[in-house]
Amino acid sequence: MSRIKWFVSLILLLALTLLTASAFAQDAAPEVLVTADWLEQNLEDPNVRIIEVSVNPGVFERGHIPGAVNFVWHTDFVNPLERDVVSAERFQELLRGAGVNDDTTVILYGDSNNWFAAWGAWIFNLYGFEDVRLLDGGRVKWEADGRPLSTDSATFEAGSVTIGEADDELRALKPEVLSIVEGETLASLIDIRSPAEYNGEIFAPEGVQELAIRAGHIPGALNVPWGQNVNEDGTFKSLEELQVLYGGLGVDGSQPIVTYCRIGERAALTWFVLHELLGYDVALYDGSWTEWGNSVGVPVENPAGTVWGGQ
């Protein structure tokens, strides 16, 4: 081979390598996450809206990311009277009040490893909003990095976003879960609660109010605690690590998946990992254990053998 042909071949090989690396980088950093660096650089972008969704009262008022507005998950993202998600009409009203348009980029973040921010991302996706992303690491990492916080209340001109009907493919209801348990529907069930909850050793984490009168798990469900999805600083593990984690349990996206927890918020984090990061077909069973464990006539697996009242 002449030196010229060798040189051309080398250039083509390098170009192919760069294209492959670029494609991999896009796969490894999907536009459903933003870094703290990116967000700090885009705080003044008028097309970006930042929404905090935290569970602990008072954290937003103590200080929040500049320009952020506060959505309260148990009143803004759900129906406060019925056990259901927020209606399309109410959701549209909230978003317009926050200055959100159809082409707005919405960044969600919160405390507790983005549990409720991930629930918010599920709601946005449920209603077909195009560009919603999570702040990787959430509030904890933002504060740990020493980044700016504000106590000012942000106000915006009313937005014009239009919200349509909910996408039923992203949500699983109890009859659908029962059909999986009974073998009528082929899908994987993933219980993201702690092993103690899954095994029936405890009914729920200490201090919570929403309880079931039966302990244990849905028959056939795999137990993958939500914390296995994240690093110590709250950021998500790499795509390769996540694929190994779930692939080792036979969950590789080859069939639909349903995630659940106690009331749906922790399961939303796993839904985000599997659906948004890995691109699998995943629905969230937001009724979760507080519905299943309180239902009459549904099967329960309880390795610990606990009964009502923990006796």
Residue with tokens 């349990």: 249
- How far from chain centre, in Å, is Cα 95? 19
Q: Which of 231, 224, 218, 216 is nearest to 302 (CA)?
A: 216
Catalytic residue among 126, 192, 261, 277: 261
Q: Give kind and range of the element (H or E) at residue 195.
A: helix 195-199
First-residue to last-residue Cα distance in the chain:
81
- φ, ψ of residue 247 in degrees (nearest 5): -60, -35
Q: 9 is written with which tokens?
A: 């071949």
Centre a 10 Å sphere on the Cβ of residue 43 and count the other Cβ atoms it contains. Answer: 16
DSSP 69: E
Burial of 41 per CB tally in 10 Å (0-12, 13-18, 19+): exposed
Q: Confirm whether 288 is a catalytic residue.
A: no
Q: 22 is written with which tokens?
A: 């670029």
Which positions are annotated as active-site residues?
A: 261
